[in-house]
Every structure is written in structure tokens, then in C-alpha cells.
Amino acid sequence: MLEHGGRLGEAAARWGIPRADWLDLSTGIAPWPYPVPAVPAEVWQRLPEDEDGLEAAARDYYGAGHLLALPGSQSGIQLLPRLLAPGRVALPAPIYAEHPAAWRAAGHQIVAWDAGTTMRADYAVLCNPNNPTGQRFTRAELLERARALRLLVVDEAFIDAAPEESLADHATDNIVVLRSLGKFFGLAGARVGFAIAAPELLTRLAVALGPWAVGHPARWAARHALADRAWPAGQRERLRGAAARLDALLSQAGFAATTGTAFFRYLPTPRAAALHAALARRGILVRRFDDPGALRFGLPGSENAWQRLTDTLKEFA
């Protein structure tokens, strides 16, 4: 199993700090979740149905033609490589580690990512913006790359803060877009995502998933979130403001070379292991990367959390 952020139980046991005393900045999930209404009792009692309005709300929100609800975009990451003939797949590095792991497990060969638009590969996979670095690719660049490939897979888990950059409206033929409610809507526990692609590939993916892949309460919550036309604008404003604040805070602490997204900041540093441990001893959990060495800071969700991070970082300035 690959390592991920948010493993508070493990951190609590390792560092001897009770779970409730941690400030968890390790996941990149927006700290202000969508306010899901109370779930009616019948939603818990009945199996989910495809005609509940979720897909229609998602198509409208994403501007997509054809899509499939997933039990988290992670399921699409794992299943898509198994549906495709083995070939060469190009991925930038670093990248969300589940992508190369899934393609290798399905018998594909990982090849070097070409910085130009000519890909010496059958498939290409990227996160836009990239996880963990925040690197962005323009729509024009990605459409040009797709012309030379059997399939381009774009993981847009962190794109909701800048939806104009999405390829959801171009996800046909040889482009697949993966979207997630976990990060922007702060509903990671619901495990809801979407594959946006050509109908034939979506049908094969649906067969691989099997029936009732997304639970009824999760579908109910996701439909409400996606149909709310007012809430996303406020969330984007909160995210952008918090990202700028975190940039300033890290800079004041002497960590000026940061990149990232509206959801997190990425700090390359050869001291990643030592800084991660120093923060953990103070009950602050951030995401550590070893190749190359780096830390990823998520956003504090309250003034108390901001003050705690500020006070702690002053010790490193």
C-alpha cells in the first residue's frame, strides 16, 4: 500500500500525541466542507438509483457530455489501466503515486515524460494542476498532446478553484477526465468522483465497477453539492485567500521557494524529513515526500489553527 496524507491514527501512535490534539495539514482537502443537509431516512434504507439526478447535476456543473459516477476518483485511477491494451504510458514526476502504481500493475511500461508536445508513448497521464507540485498545463497544450496518443488521462482533483482550465468539455474519443468531490467540496469521506469520457469506455468502466458502486447517501450528498450554484464561488474565494495567506506565512518563516495550488503549498527542501519530524513533535501533520525531498502544507481551517501554525513556524525562522 502506498503512503497517503491524513493518517492521523498512525501519527498519534508514532509520536505519542492524542488524535484530538493534532492539526492535520497533510491532505490538501479544503477545510470548509459543503454543508450537506440532513439525510432522509429512506436514503439509508433504499439502494441507489441512477435516475436520482446526480449525473444530470454533475454534467451541468462540469460542462460534460458523458460521465460516470465513481466511488471516488481513486477507483477510476485503478480500473482504467486494466481496460486498456498494455502499452507505454508517460507520466510527469513527481506525480500522485497511485497513477504509476496502477499502470504498472496492469502491465504497462512507464516511460519518460516529454517536455514538448511530441509524446513517445501510447498513453499519457497527468494531474492538472499536478499533485504534489502544483504544475499546470494549458488546455491548448493538453489538446495538442492528445492528438499523438491513444488516450490522455487528466486527473483534475484540484482544478475546481480554476474551472476554466478544465478539459471536461473535451473528454471524448481519446481524452478521459477524472474529477472528485473530495477536495473542493471537502467531502472526501463520501467517496464520490466522476469519469468523463467517451460512452464506450464509460460502459466498460461501469461493468468493471459493478452495480451500486456509489452508496445512496453519498449520491444524495453529491447531488446537493453539485446542484448548489452559489456555494462554489464563495469556496473559491476562501481557497485563494487562504493559499495566499499560507504563502506569506511560509515566506516569513524563511521558506520562500513554494509552489502549489489553492488547496496546498509545496515546499521542496533537502530538510524535508527533519522538518516533518519537528512539526510532528508539535502535533502538526504535513505531507512528506522523499524523492525529491519536499513538504506539502494544506490549509488551516480556523483562526486557532492559523495561530498554532504561525507560532510553530516562528521557531524555524
Q: What's the CATH architecture for 47-227? A: 3-Layer(aba) Sandwich (3.40)
Average pLDDT over residues 181-190: 96
The mean per-residue pLDDT over the stretch 222-247 comes to 97
Q: In three state form, how does the secondary structure of 55-116 look?
A: HHHHHHHHCCCCEEEECCHHHHHHHHHHHCCCCEEECCCCCCCHHHHHHHHCCCEEECCCCC
Distance CA 5, CA 25 (A): 8
Q: How confident is the model at residue 315 (pLDDT cuts 50, 70, 90)?
A: confident
- Over residues 96-102, the mean pLDDT reads 95
**pLDDT at residue number 112:** 86
- The pTM of this model reads 0.94
Please state the domain extents for the chain: 8-33+231-314, 47-227
**102 falls in which pLDDT band (50, 70, 90)?**
very high
Average pLDDT taken over every residue of the chain: 93
Quick check: 182 and 27 in contact, CB under 8 A? Answer: no
To which CATH superfamily is domain 8-33+231-314 assigned?
A: Aspartate Aminotransferase, domain 1 (3.90.1150.10)
The predicted structure's pLDDT at residue 256? 75
Residue 119 has pLDDT above 70, yes or no: no
Instruction: Tell me the mean pLDDT in the region 299-315.
Output: 94
pLDDT band at 1 (very low <50, low <70, confident <90, very high): low
pLDDT for res 254 = 86
Which of 63-74 are b and which e, b meaning 16 or more Cβ less than 10 Å from the residue's Cβ? ebebbbbbbbbb
pLDDT at 316: 74
Burial readout 130-140 (b: 16 or more C-beta within 10 A, e: otherwise)? bbbbbbbbeee
- The cell 524563511 sits on which residue? 254
pLDDT(2) > 90 = no
Q: Which of 100, 80, 73, 12 is nearest to 291 (CA)?
A: 100
Residue 172 and residue 197 in contact, taking contact as beta carbons nearer than 8 Å: yes
- Give 114's pLDDT tier (boundaries 50, 70, 90): confident
Q: How confident is the model at residue 6 (pLDDT cuts 50, 70, 90)?
A: low
187 neighbors 222 (Cβ within 8 angstroms): yes
